Amino acid sequence: MAHGMILIDQERCKGCSLCIEVCPQHVITINTSKLNAKSYHPAGLDDPGGKCTGCAICAVICPDACITVLREPPLRRGVGLSSPTVERML
């Protein structure tokens, strides 16, 4: 499985939760402690285990086009890439 991550535009997100429902890895949550300028609780990646595969299903359903999806490039033979974690990326 490839490793991936997503970035969610916190100001554009309307917290509709559709991405949460479709994510096969269940790694998106609504951040109820945060309110954006339009008073929505935005969604965010919550993936301490690095399970996001970068499949982009969340981005396909997002009505507000606020998800950017990143993914590892395909593995080069014999060269393993370390799995990115959210902590590393912050």
Hey, which residues between 2 and 21 contact ligand SF4 (CB under 6 A)?
Answer: 4, 6, 8, 13-19
Residue span 18-57 as binding mask against other proteins, x where in contact by CB under 8 A, dash where not: x--xx---------------x-x---x---------x-xx
- Plot region of 18 (φ>0 → left; ψ -120 to 50 → alpha; else → beta): alpha
* Residue with smaller CB distance to ligand SF4, 24 or 48: 24
10 Å CB burial of residue 31 (0-12, 13-18, 19+) is middle
Residue span 42-71 as binding mask against ligand SF4, x where in contact by CB under 6 A, dash where not: -x--------xxxxxxx---x-x-xx-x--
- Between CA 20 and CA 36 the distance in angstroms is 18
Q: What 3-state class would DSSP assign to 19?
A: helix
- Between CA 61 and CA 48 the distance in angstroms is 23
Q: Which residues bind ligand SF4 (CB under 6 A)?
A: 4, 6, 8, 13-19, 23-25, 27-28, 43, 52-58, 62, 64, 66-67, 69
